[in-house]
Structure 1
Amino acid sequence: MDLRVFTEPQQGADYDTLLRVAKATEELGFDAFFRSDHYLAMGDGDGLPGPTDAWVTLAGLARETSRIRLGTLMTAGTFRLPGPLAIQVAQVDAMSGGRIEFGLGSGWFEEEHTAYGIPFPGDKFARLEEQLAIVTGLWQTPAGEKFSFDGKHYRLADSPALPKPAQPKVPVLVGGLGPVRTPRLAARFADEFNIPFASIGDSERQFGRVRDAMAEAGRKADDLVYSNALVACVGKDDAEVARRARTIGREVAELKENGLAGSPAEVVDKIGRFQDIGASRIYLQILDLHDLDHLELIAAQVQAELG
């Protein structure tokens, strides 16, 4: 089981804070550092000191880390045009020495679009499908050949399809709980399918839909990595769990029901139940980015037990 650190910096984190967490992620032996792609805090927080851009952040981290994978859950398709986005991701992949993974979603949080003057179009899913086709098509076009695309929302003509990523293939992540179109999109484009903040039962059903879609697309179901993203709140005893829950404004009982909360042994047991339904990777949503002792505890007593 791969454990990855997943951050939500729109809730309040500058680049230096994210760098400290990324370096701890690397030093403690976690597999990867991922971040969300949002420009506005959610809930009651003020989001100070303000948002950081996902791909600017990852470019910096690409030069200041050496081992961990880096990526997004998920890049918002409404924020960037697909052609320039393909250039950005390929460049950051080169800056990292080939350690980037690319999650792309449709974008959903209308308020952040309004706050920063970003158009919030209708039919975002159809746009997402075209965006995935364009980004992957540009990367896969052999050097010296041209790429064109004629879609409903985007048109490219005779693109040189440069630059290329450092990796032969940048892993592409698709995710969500949509019952029909999302599995089909994953079967067409994805190397990994991610389910955010869902129960074991809901995850098992969605993994099954994706496996069926893979078969329909002529792909082996096990060609995909299946993963979950879950909030983490781990403590060496009940008092520490309660303290960490208070800090992030959550209730212990709710976190145990919907996330990975409790003692290291409790968390190891629950991760094992996700593993039983086919998950081989967990993104640990870390909401208090100043509590590096939390990461140390997870590394020493959860990650070590999972092997």
Structure 2
Amino acid sequence: MELADLRIFTEPQQGATYDTLLAVAQRAEQLGYGAFFRSDHYLKMGDVSGQPGPTDAWITLGAIARETSTIRLGTLVTAATFRMPGPLAISVAQVDEMSNGRVDFGFGAGWFEQEHTAYGIPFPGLGERFDNLEEQMAIIHGLWNTPEGETFSYDGDVWQVADSPALPKPVQAGGPPIIVGGRGKSRTPKLAATYASEFNMPFVSRDVFESQCAVVREACESADRDPSTMTWSAALVACVGADEAEFERRAAAIGREPDEVRENGAAGTPEQVAETIRAWQESGAERLYLQILDLDDLDHLNLIAEAVAPLL
């Protein structure tokens, strides 16, 4: 695994301005990371202030697209409950154009009920949310893949689209790569096999990762799709120190116990983190999203690029 296979993943709802996110994205690009990703949430989680408040994922990525030139940009993951499928297809296609084809589109059903109630967003039951996700995925994929000059229609139980011109088209042929993830045993694997370029498992053990990837491989085979056409990825909290003292300082800064974060994340000294990443490779992870929780600590990005990546 090379530095380009490591992606920086941020959680701005925990407290970050646009300028902070831009600084992280630009530093990640300068260092050679493969992508800058952000969550799509409107409410803080846990015991943090969340100040100055949330930022919108696609507005943020559109702005960052104009201030970067090579790094890929995306979401883990956009919630289908937040937006209607037609306007979302337009927004993502526009950011793809603004970035000259550097967008990846992580898409999920939505799960955090409190942020919905806090901002007046309907939050139906799980089954309805998956119905919504499946139909939105079909519509967005259909809009992006309708040949220019033709129209797209869709008659679903949740959504109906009639004679759409299916514009604008993304820069990337067929649309940005779609990322699907999660632990679902039937609908999620089928959705991934049908639409996704990448399957992601965030913040789980390697055993769970291996087990769920096996389920998705079976879904690919059932859909007559070669599982090798899927990219397999995981997300881990990153907390690295040049030595044990610096690691413990960074763990304290993000409110994590050193032993806990070392067990559950990509954490410790550079040698220890490289060993963890190699173990994930052996479990089948081809790409890792490193969750960076202290977004003001840009030296952390430097250390991973300069001290961990060469060991891989």
Tell me the TM-score normalised to structure 1 length: 0.99
Counterpart CA distance in 1 for 2:170 and 2:190 is 25
Aligned to 2:122: 119
Counterpart CA distance in 1 for 2:184 and 2:227 is 18
Matched, 1:146 2:151: yes
Matched, 1:192 2:195: no
Instruction: Extract unaligned runs of 5+ from structure 2.
Output: none
- 2:170 aligned residue (165, 171, 174): 165
Q: What's the secondary structure of 2:234's corresponding residue? A: strand
Q: CA deviation at 1:238?
A: 1.1
- 1:90 aligned residue (89, 93, 96): 93
Aligned to 1:63: 66
**2:172 partner letter:** Q
**1:185 partner letter:** L
Counterpart CA distance in 1 for 2:239 and 2:68 is 25
**1:175 partner letter:** G
Counterpart CA distance in 1 for 2:221 and 2:250 is 43
- 1:281 aligned residue (284, 287, 292): 287
Aligned to 1:41: 44
Aligned to 1:104: 107
Instruction: Extract unaligned runs of 5+ from structure 1.
Output: none
Q: What's the secondary structure of 2:192's corresponding residue? A: helix
Matched, 1:294 2:300: yes
Q: What is the aligned-residue identity percentage?
A: 63
Aligned to 1:234: 240
**2:32 partner letter:** G
Q: CA deviation at 1:65?
A: 0.2
**1:67 partner letter:** T
Matched, 1:77 2:83: no
Q: CA deviation at 1:305?
A: 2.3
- 2:139 aligned residue (124, 134, 142): 134
**1:147 partner letter:** F
- 1:224 aligned residue (221, 230, 239): 230
Counterpart CA distance in 1 for 2:289 and 2:59 is 21
- 1:209 aligned residue (215, 227, 237): 215
What's the RMSD between the two structures over aligned residues? 0.7
Tell me the TM-score normalised to structure 2 length: 0.97
Counterpart CA distance in 1 for 2:191 and 2:309 is 31
**CA deviation profile, 1:9-51 (whole Å, cap 9, x unmatched):** 0000000000000000000110000000000000011100110
Q: CA deviation at 1:225?
A: 0.3
Aligned to 2:34: 31
Q: CA deviation at 1:181?
A: 1.7
**1:258 partner letter:** N
Q: CA deviation at 1:184?
A: 1.1
**1:73 partner letter:** L
**1:90 partner letter:** A
Aligned to 1:270: 276
Matched, 1:182 2:185: no
Counterpart CA distance in 1 for 2:168 and 2:145 is 11
**CA deviation profile, 1:104-142 (whole Å, cap 9, x unmatched):** 000111101111111112211111111110101100000
- 2:22 aligned residue (19, 23, 36): 19
**1:145 partner letter:** E
Q: CA deviation at 1:257?
A: 1.3
**CA deviation profile, 1:48-104 (whole Å, cap 9, x unmatched):** 011000000000001000000000000011100010000000001000000000000
Mean CA deviation greater in 253-262 or 7-16: 253-262
Counterpart CA distance in 2 for 1:274 and 1:184 is 24
Q: CA deviation at 1:304?
A: 2.4
Q: What's the secondary structure of 1:74's corresponding residue? A: strand
Counterpart CA distance in 2 for 1:64 and 1:95 is 10
**CA deviation profile, 1:169-207 (whole Å, cap 9, x unmatched):** 310000011122211110011000000001111101011
Q: What's the secondary structure of 2:19's corresponding residue? A: helix
